[in-house]
Amino acid sequence: MTFSADLWEHGAAKVYEEIVRHPFITGLTDGTLPHAKFRYFVIQDSHYLRAYSRALALVAARATDEDAVSMFCRHAAEAIDVERELHASLLGSLGLTSADVDTAGSGPTTTAYMSYLTAVCATGTYAEAVAAVLPCYWIYRDVGRALLERSSPDPLYAQWIATYGSPEFDAVVESVLGVTNRLGTEVGPAERDRCLRHFSTTTRYEWMFWDAAYHELEWPV
């Protein structure tokens, strides 16, 4: 079994089932998701993408071959581009500006997820860092693909779905899966366990990120 298939089976398969039937996700395709919840999501995702980009730059710095350094650097830059382009247009359509993103600040789940990603990418091994960021790519690609079949009657939601369900995003994810599988031949059992723990933790955070948006979760105090 490839390393990525092993990670998915033990760390993501069950959670992925929960993700695709979460009311946030089903609400995107049937168009019933209230814009307030999507607004919360886009604002939090803007915060998330800033940290994600830095996390990818840390993965790039840890990479052991030049192709991977170059790829993760590119993805780090692209995360900033997505934040600027997709979000600027989505935020605009939702009647928001980047000042609203700053005013809202990063919510509890976003903060926890960003902190975990940053910590693993800064202090873990290269394989651990890859395992921690992999669900960010993979879950969005699979969710995007699954939703693309149904798309959405709401043009805002359809735009979001089209981005992550696109062949371009699929190609990005396939390259990262290739890197992961090559790393699988190099890691020993203890490092493999740590990779699995990171992968399953960030997969859970992906579910929690949508759940936080669905409940418009704020800091309790």
Ligand X SMILES: Cc1ncc(CO)c(N)n1
By beta-carbon proximity to ligand X, the closer residue of 42 and 195 is 42
How near is the Cβ of 120 to ligand X at its closest, in Å? Answer: 15
- CA–CA dist 27, 136 (Å, integer): 21
By beta-carbon proximity to ligand X, the closer residue of 131 and 136 is 136
Q: Which residues bind ligand X (CB under 6 A)?
A: 45, 48-49, 136, 140, 206, 209
How near is the Cβ of 186 to ligand X at its closest, in Å? Answer: 26
Burial 57-91 (b: 16+ CB within 10 A, else e): bbbbebbeeeebeebbbebbebbeebbeebbeebb
Catalytic residue positions, numbered: 206
By beta-carbon proximity to ligand X, the closer residue of 152 and 203 is 203
By beta-carbon proximity to ligand X, the closer residue of 49 and 127 is 49
Please answer whether residues 217 and 109 qualify as being in contact, where contact means their C-beta atoms are separated by less than 8 angstroms.
yes
Please answer whether residues 132 and 198 qualify as being in contact, where contact means their C-beta atoms are separated by less than 8 angstroms.
yes
How near is the Cβ of 87 to ligand X at its closest, in Å? Answer: 9
- CA–CA dist 187, 182 (Å, integer): 10
How near is the Cβ of 189 to ligand X at its closest, in Å? Answer: 29
Concatenating the DSSP letter of every residue in 43-76 gives HHHHHHHHHHHHHHHHHHHH-SSHHHHHHHHHHH
